[in-house]
Amino acid sequence: MNLSLIGLVILTFAWFVQLGFSWEGKKEIHKIFLISYITGVIILVIDGFINGLNELAILNTACAVLALLVLLRIGKFRVKAAKRK
């Protein structure tokens, strides 16, 4: 199994997870979706660089970073800012 296929299977799983939550009436983006999505995209990034598809790897890196920023914003993984006095 090649890395692209593994990454795409993980991305598909992530979307099924999010779809399942939305069918339950939940409108927010879920952490399970984001973590799975980021994992799948990182695998695509690795595959892109290995196969010389640098433009695709860079764009996928941007997607992973943006999804990570969303995860940091909504999740318990949030970086706490210093308190102002």
Q: What are phi and psi of 84, to 5 degrees?
A: -90, 140
Mean pLDDT, all residues of the chain? 86
Domain boundaries, given as residue ranges, for the chain: 3-74
Q: Band the pLDDT of 85: cuts 50, 70, 90.
A: low
Q: Of 25, 28, 32, give the one whose Cα is nearest residue 10.
A: 32
Residue with tokens 């999505």: 37
When mean pLDDT is compared across 5-9, 14-18, 79-83, the lowest value belongs to 79-83
Tens of pLDDT, residue by residue over 45-78, are 999 999 999 999 999 999 999 999 988 888 765 4
Which residue did the predictor score with more confidence, 60 or 26? Answer: 60
Q: Of 26, 49, 30, 36, give the one whose Cα is nearest residue 6.
A: 36
Which residue did the predictor score with more confidence, 78 or 26? Answer: 26
